[in-house]
Amino acid sequence: MTRYSRQTRMLVAIDCIIFGFDGQDLKLLVIKRGFEPEKGKWSLMGGFVQPDEGFEEAASRILKVLTGLEGVYMEQLFAFGNPDRDPMERTISVAYFALIDINAYRQQLSEEYRAEWISLSKLPRLIFDHAEMVAQAQARLRYKAAIHPILFELLPQKFTIPQLQILYEAVYDTVFDKRNFSRKVLSTGLLVKQKDKERASSKRGAFYYKLDKRKYSAKFHAFLNFVADPGKLN
């Protein structure tokens, strides 16, 4: 058994773009990098792919270490391979983006990494090509959320329609008509009205809704057109 000689081997990293929603703004989970190069600078959470590890596996491991969470929504975003993206040594990075319920996040587990939720509008400079990764992830989020019901992954199990609308408005940085918005989301048949109300943010209170899990799984990949043409906004 010969091996592929004369070919260059490279480091393979995973970087995670982790989105959260605090009820007002879209946020990103970033850390202060703990090792050289760029030690102490803001960075995405990442790590190297291990010898017997696939990409999904590696991404899940990294996400778990940082957030303590498993089974969260995650998808491969893009593989970044610019030869000089890491000044130290040729390193390619497979970026994953994840959507998590910010309330389920356990801060204590990640003290070690000095992780922080930062609003997308107030991001500091990030190392390497991480800003590009974030921009691309945000574009993908907008693209995908226009067609598929993925934003529910950012909300707790019980949520109100006004909360959902604030989320959509944060993602697209625009405002939607209340009446048309609720009609649209209700018409998907994905929501189940609860009997209790959320009472913190208004006098009248807004009814909670939950996802109909069966229909959600079934329609997750269907084309639902939540937003007509996200490219035309802004």
Interface residue list for a copy of itself (CB under 8 A): 1-4, 7-12, 36, 48-55, 58, 76, 78-79, 81-83, 88-92, 94, 146-147, 221-223, 228-232
Residue with Cβ nearer DNA (79 or 175): 175
Q: Which does 161 bind (CB under 5 to 8 A by kind): a copy of itself, DNA, none?
A: DNA
Residues contacting DNA: total by CB under 7 A? 22
Q: Which does 233 bind (CB under 5 to 8 A by kind): DNA, a copy of itself, none?
A: none
Contacts of 90 (CB under 8 A, 6+ apart): 8, 10, 11, 83
Q: Which does 91 bind (CB under 5 to 8 A by kind): DNA, a copy of itself, none?
A: a copy of itself
DSSP character at residue 189: T
Tokens 């189940």 — which residue? 192
| Binding piece for DNA, criterion CB under 7 A, among 87-95, 116-124, 156-164, 211-219 | 156-164
Contacts of 192 (CB under 8 A, 6+ apart): 209, 210, 211, 212
How many Å apart are CA 234 and CA 214, to the nearest integer?
35
Q: Which does 179 bind (CB under 5 to 8 A by kind): a copy of itself, DNA, none?
A: DNA
Let me know the angle formed at the C-alpha of 145 by 139 and 149, rounded to the nearest 5 degrees: 160
Q: Which does 200 bind (CB under 5 to 8 A by kind): a copy of itself, DNA, none?
A: none
Alpha carbon dihedral 49, 54, 59, 65, in 10-degree steps, equals -70
Residue with Cβ nearer a copy of itself (207 or 220): 220
| Segment 171 to 210, residues that bind DNA, using CB under 7 A | 177-180, 182-184, 187, 197, 199, 201-207
Residue with Cβ nearer DNA (11 or 222): 222
**DSSP letter string over 158-173?**
SEEHHHHHHHHHHHHT
Q: Structure tokens of 96? A: 């994953």
Contacts of 132 (CB under 8 A, 6+ apart): 80
- Give the phi and the psi of residue 90 in degrees, each rounded to 5: -55, 115
Positions in the binding site for DNA (CB under 7 A): 160-162, 177-180, 182-184, 187, 197, 199, 201-207, 225, 228
